[in-house]
Amino acid sequence: MKKMIVMFTMCLMMMAMMTSCGSSHENTPRGVAEAAVKYLSKKDWKGYMDLTDANDKQKEVMAQMLEKMGQQLDDKGGMKSYEFVDEDIDEENGTATITVKVTYENQTSEDNKMKMLKKDGKWLLSSEK
């Protein structure tokens, strides 16, 4: 269980690292977080990675982690719902942390923190812990 939480959190952080070229989500921390969760629930790994600031090497590692996370999502029956429970946005420094509570089909839930940064005017999931 702890490994799954760590994997999910790392995936969410990586999501913030990638550039959101041509995406339709709102360019806000919450908009990026919502897009990330939707991509994860659909197992759209490319969409997810496009929301992060990861370089090519980091994306390779991330792809492996996302595959493992996909199996963990399957084991829980997939995502049932999610809700945002906290937002800490520092516009001046271009950082944010969004906490999202994910409920799975097997009726378990967990809170996950998504760290973000603003790079070239775009909010991205951060690869930094």
pLDDT digits (tens, 9 = 90+) for 76-128: 999 999 999 999 999 999 999 999 999 999 999 999 999 999 999 999 998 77
Helix (H) or strand (E) holding 5: helix 2-15
Residues in the chain: 129
What pLDDT does residue 17 have?
41
pLDDT digits (tens, 9 = 90+) for 21-74: 445 578 999 999 999 999 999 999 989 999 999 888 888 888 888 888 889 999
* Rounded-to-integer distance, Cα 26 and Cα 30, Å: 8
Q: How many CA atoms lie within 13 A of 5 on its CB side?
A: 11
* Cα distance between residue 123 and residue 27, in whole Å: 6
Residue 54 CA neighbour count, 13 Å, CB half: 25
